Amino acid sequence: MKIIELKETVTASNDRDAAVLRAELKEKGTLLVNLMASPGAGKTTLLERTIRDLKDEMNIAVMEADVDSDVDAVRIEKIGAKAVQAHTDGMCHMDAGMTRRALEGLGDEQFDLVVLENVGNLICPAEFDTGAGRCVMLLSVPEGDDKPLKYPLMFKVSDVLIITKTDVAPYFDFDFDACVARAKKLNPDITIFKVSAKTGDGFEEWESWLKSAVKNWKN
Amino acid sequence: MHEMGIILHLAKTLEETAEQEQIKKITRVTLEVGEVSGIITDYFTDCWNYFRRKHPVLESAELDLQTLPAVTFCGNCEKTYPTVQYGRTCPYCGSGETWLLKGNECIIKEIEVED
């Protein structure tokens, strides 16, 4: 018998696959954005409006990851972007291997931006690197300003936090300053936007960030 | 199905290691699992016992799970305390501005292999 010390995280093989995928996408000039949030935070609604605003400036595709059904992919295709539905077969997250297979499902077309709409969940998706160039998370006003305290890892791994559904803020006791302070404490570099997909508030700032992220990825 | 996803990656990481190190059989896998990693150990072991049979190099590998204590840091009084006992509220000053320092990891500590 021989003991071999590894001291490696269980997801080390996924981290390696993710790094390879990220390098390939960089080479191709395709920015992959991993979009994460709770179920019902407004991921698909945010994407619908964003795609409608930006589709004439860049070639966008969406990969919808869900445990089942294709309702989200149908919604995205209606807006005029290419969409594929990836089923996770009961798994609560996407990993780098599943992301690669979903990307293959998009075919040979060249995209400037591919958005992976991850499974609705603030826990597991944060633990698995998908190979994305940028991670964007959503937190909707009805969910509450205490979420950074409850799900710190998600806020730590995200480059951007978008607080959605700001139009309903008058009906909830959502403390924006407290939420921003909590998120910044976990991740001082996080960029924060406040938007409402209903009114369009805040979309200019978010879309301008996204446009420069796509441009910078190509350099 | 959090456990199954982790097991899939664990098996892949171990198979890659076995190939690199030219290991034919792994007999024991020791994991360090954080107290608040969200891993249900009974379920995790069940998943492992089901899954290892599909991999010749892993089929006789027993899983040894060692618990790592979870520690929380209080941003207000800057003290640390055991997470499982006190949860999110600091037992020293009562503040809720607290963050987990460690305890959500899952690390492959070592493997035992046949010579």
Contact A91 B9 (CB under 8 A): no
In a domain, B82, yes or no: no
In a domain, B84, yes or no: no
In a domain, B85, yes or no: no
Query: Which CATH number does the domain housing residue B26 bear?
Result: 3.30.2320.80
Q: Which residues make Cβ contacts (< 8 Å) with residue B22, sequence separation at least 6? A: none
* pTM for this prediction: 0.84
Under the banding of pLDDT at 50, 70 and 90, the label for residue A111 is: very high
Report B:23-82 residues touching A (Cβ under 8 A). Answer: 23, 27, 31, 38, 75
Under the banding of pLDDT at 50, 70 and 90, the label for residue A10 is: confident
Q: What is the pLDDT of residues A114-124, one digit of tens each?
A: 999 999 999 88
The tens place of each residue's pLDDT in chain B, 115 residues long, gives 578 888 888 998 999 999 999 999 999 999 999 998 888 888 899 989 988 998 999 999 999 999 999 999 999 999 999 999 998 899 999 998 888 899 988 899 999 998 7
- Total domain count for chain B? 1
Is A102's pLDDT higher than 60? yes
Contact A128 B5 (CB under 8 A): yes
Percent of chain A with pLDDT over 70: 100
In the block, tokens 């919808």 appear at A64
Q: Which residues make Cβ contacts (< 8 Å) with residue A217, sequence separation at least 6? A: A26, A29, A30, A31, A133
Under the banding of pLDDT at 50, 70 and 90, the label for residue A12 is: confident
Contact A2 B113 (CB under 8 A): yes
Q: Which helix (H) or strand (E) holds A160?
A: strand A160-164
CATH 3.30.70.20 is right for the domain spanning A12-218: no
ipTM of the complex: 0.80
Q: What is the pLDDT of residues A38-76, one digit of tens each?
A: 999 999 999 999 999 999 999 999 999 987 788 888 999
Q: What is the longest distance spanned by two Cα atoms in chain A?
A: 66
In a domain, B83, yes or no: no
Per domain, the residue ranges of chain A are 12-218
pLDDT, mean over chain A? 93
CB A15 within 8 Å of CB A111: no
**Alpha carbons A85 and A68: distance in angstroms, whole number:** 9
3-class secondary-structure state, position B16: helix
Domain that holds residue B32: 2-68+103-113
| Best A4, A10, A89 residue to mutate vs chain B (most B CBs within 10 Å) | A10
In a domain, B41, yes or no: yes
Lowest mean pLDDT among A79-93, A108-122, A182-196, B63-77: A79-93
Per-residue pLDDT, averaged over A161-169, amounts to 98
Contact B4 A91 (CB under 8 A): yes
Size of interface A-B (CB pairs under 8 A): 89
Per-residue pLDDT, averaged over A177-188, amounts to 94
Is A125's pLDDT higher than 80? yes
